Amino acid sequence: MQKDFSNELVRLKKLYELSMTISGDPVEVFRHIAKIIGELFELKIVCLSKINGDRLDFLAIYHEGQIFTDAGSCELAVTPCATVEIAQDVRIYDHVKERFPDALFLQQHNAHSYCGFPCLGNDGKVKAVTCLLDDKSREYTEEDIEILRIFGQRIGMEIERQEHIQSVKASQQRIEFLAHHDILTELPNRILLIERFNLAVAPVQREEIAVSLISLDLDHFKVINDSFGYHAGDFLLKEVAVRLKTCVRDTDTISRQGGDQFIILLSDIHEANDVAIVAQKILEIFKDPFLMDGDSIKISASLGIVLFPKDGNDLSQLLHYADTAMYHAKDSGGNGYQFFNEEMAASSKERLHILNHIRQALEFNQFKLHYQSQIDTITRKIIACEALIRWETPDRFIPPGKFIPVAENSGIILDIDAWVVDAACRQAKIWQDAGMPLVVAVNISASQFKRGNIIDLVSTALDRHQLDPGLLEIELTESILIHDTEIIRQVLFQLKQLGIKLSIDDFGTGYSNLSYLRMLHLDKIKIDQSFIKHMAINENDKVIVRSTIDLAHNLGLKVIAEGVETASAVELLEEFDCDQLQGYHFGKPMPPELFVSCIK
């Protein structure tokens, strides 16, 4: 039989068209390839479909001379294309709609014959399947199949090229996103905040409106980090970011500045009350606890507010003022907001002044320890004392409530802890050598248990002064016990191995849970003075104190009441079988040279 040269020329022409298909607009490339195949094989339908998991996404469909794109998708498993993917080669079927009755596409087009070929990537995996459909039987020669394989290679190459382009674009977009956003919360960062601020203030003078910046800082966030671990802190920050978005408009900006600080930029503000309403909404989102792995975390926030142009024109200055107002909100007890005013600027300078002088006080040994007696309830004798830090500069006395928060916020509290433990051990050793052995209790910050090295700190001080470990007591804040982590248990166990005593300070004000106190190898709990102060006149406080003492005794723990100031309080505590008493009724904190006369 003579070879049909006209058909051969058509095939060569179509293959040449395929080879000249230049990668460009992906839609046009696939439209063109589907058209070439349809015309070359004189088909009713050509369907080019990309495999997307368990589905086929239609890239281009040739239907009797017309080309369609974005034609939807279908389930892969019910189609003959699934057999092509498995075989990774050409598959041909007659009576196809009967063989695959659940393939809706075949039923809709009354398909009788099917020829599907894989479009392979460089890794040998099937990227797509192109199927040739007709309403009558078709035969495909070996030459036809080889041509289809060439088409499959070309389509596979194009899909990979597009995937590479999309991957590069996605990477570029991610890099651009990360340059302007916080990685953890995906909120705008400082760079994007500056850009948004400059855009927001542009129309201010022309339209007589204002822009506001709110500095938000979570209250006692370090406690969460130190007690639950940093993963909990990260979880909390992300959840806070989600809740904050419900408080502002789409045109406003929430930015994370690092740590637990957020800046909210409010544009198009007409009066200060507009900002106050938003601030109140923000405080409301913290009323419900945050749930994490079965734990309920309760936290609040402090907000500082500035207005542009009322409070200034420079962003750095405004952010500083917003922080100043935020710290005033914290100093007022937290869980509130403050608008900036000029008086606050002086306070901010004082905070910086205190921080600088704390460093000097440590360097030049300006801190002193005063000692307050702890009395045995039955014998009324001094059996222990609490070491309390005092700071008196050449020109004034600075109370602990003034400098301790500054020290905690800056991290220098770790150095103060180290000084306190060492000074207390030195004094306890002096009394021990003088034949007056007395247990000295010292307060340790929660930060020391996570960021410091409290085991080395305590053991070093004990060794340096050769002090009997039983004469040192470490008072812990309840905040470290929010979450009974293995780390905290191990640290407390190692401290007990040193031979020292452990107690919980201000018990009842935080995360009280008597059930775990014994697990943590504690010796004593100290009932907070807020319950002792009004116990004689407040029946609820009286019940709390009595119940706490009874429960602690059942767990084998000693109990000390702090803030004992009246004889009536002493009588009640004696009636409740409280073990030890501490307060102004028995004496104020005093320097060691005066305190020693009380011991004698």
Evaluate the omega torsion of the peptide bond into residue 591 and state whether it is cis, within 30 degrees of 0.
no
Please name the amino acid found at residue 198: N
CA 46 to chain CA centroid, Å, is 52
Question: Residue 128's closest CA among 136, 137, 118, 138?
Answer: 118
Going from the C-alpha of 458 to that of each of 201, 442, 462, the distances in angstroms are 54, 11, 6
With beta carbons less than 8 A apart as the criterion, state whether 30 and 128 touch: no
Structure tokens at 506: 């201000």
- Across 485-522, b (16+ Cβ under 10 Å) vs e yields beebeebbeebbeeebbbbbbbbbebebebeebeebeb
With beta carbons less than 8 A apart as the criterion, state whether 514 and 555 touch: yes
- Token pair 């309830």 is at which residue? 377
**Spatial separation of the C-alpha atoms in residues 412 and 362, rounded to whole Å:** 10
Dihedral of CA atoms 367, 368, 369, 372 in degrees, nearest 10, equals -120
Question: Residue 107's closest CA among 116, 119, 115, 98?
Answer: 98
Cβ within 8 Å of residue 375, ≥6 positions away: 381, 382, 383, 580, 581, 582, 586
Please name the amino acid found at residue 177: F
**Domain 190-340 - what CATH class?**
alpha beta
Give me the residues paired with residue 561 across strands: 527, 581
Domain boundaries, the chain: 5-169, 190-340, 352-599
- Across 288-307, b (16+ Cβ under 10 Å) vs e yields eebebeeeebebebbbbbbb
* CATH superfamily entry for domain 352-599: EAL domain (3.20.20.450)
With beta carbons less than 8 A apart as the criterion, state whether 546 and 508 touch: no
Q: What was the pLDDT predicted at 8?
A: 52
With beta carbons less than 8 A apart as the criterion, state whether 347 and 329 touch: no
**Spatial separation of the C-alpha atoms in residues 39 and 46, rounded to whole Å:** 10
**In 3-state terms, what secondary structure has residue 430?**
helix
Q: Do domains 190-340 and 352-599 have the same CATH topology?
A: no
Q: CA angle 407-410-416, nearest 5°?
A: 40
Q: What was the pLDDT predicted at 377?
A: 96
Structure tokens at 229: 């671990």
**Spatial separation of the C-alpha atoms in residues 135 and 46, rounded to whole Å:** 12
**Side-chain-side CA neighbours of residue 17 (13 Å):** 16
Rg (CA), the chain: 38
**In 3-state terms, what secondary structure has residue 169?**
helix
Q: What was the pLDDT predicted at 12?
A: 52
Q: What was the pLDDT predicted at 5?
A: 39
Q: What was the pLDDT predicted at 69?
A: 84
Could you tell me the mean pLDDT of each successive run of 10 residues in the chain, 600 residues long? Answer: 46 53 69 89 93 93 88 90 94 94 91 95 92 93 90 90 88 85 92 94 84 94 76 92 96 93 95 95 94 85 95 92 90 90 76 85 91 96 96 84 83 92 97 95 84 87 97 85 65 92 78 59 88 86 90 90 93 95 94 88
Q: What was the pLDDT predicted at 401?
A: 85
Question: Residue 192's closest CA among 255, 269, 262?
Answer: 255
Structure tokens at 138: 């078709």
**Pairs from 101-104 (Cβ < 8 Å, separation ≥ 24):** 102/78, 103/74, 103/78, 103/79, 104/74
Q: CA angle 411-519-469, nearest 5°?
A: 65
With beta carbons less than 8 A apart as the criterion, state whether 58 and 49 touch: yes
**Spatial separation of the C-alpha atoms in residues 592 and 589, rounded to whole Å:** 9
What pairing do the DSSP bridges indicate for beta strands 524-527 and 501-507? parallel
CA 545 to chain CA centroid, Å, is 37
Q: What was the pLDDT predicted at 466?
A: 97
What pairing do the DSSP bridges indicate for beta strands 439-443 and 382-392? parallel
**Spatial separation of the C-alpha atoms in residues 406 and 413, rounded to whole Å:** 8
With beta carbons less than 8 A apart as the criterion, state whether 385 and 560 touch: no
**In 3-state terms, what secondary structure has residue 459?**
helix
113: left (phi over 0), alpha (psi -120 to 50) or beta: beta
**In 3-state terms, what secondary structure has residue 213?**
strand
* Second CATH level (architecture) for the domain 5-169: 2-Layer Sandwich (3.30)
**Helix H or strand E encompassing 198:** helix 190-201
Q: Using CA of residue 104, residue 108, residue 110, residue 112, what is the dihedral sign?
A: negative
Q: CA angle 63-66-67, nearest 5°?
A: 90
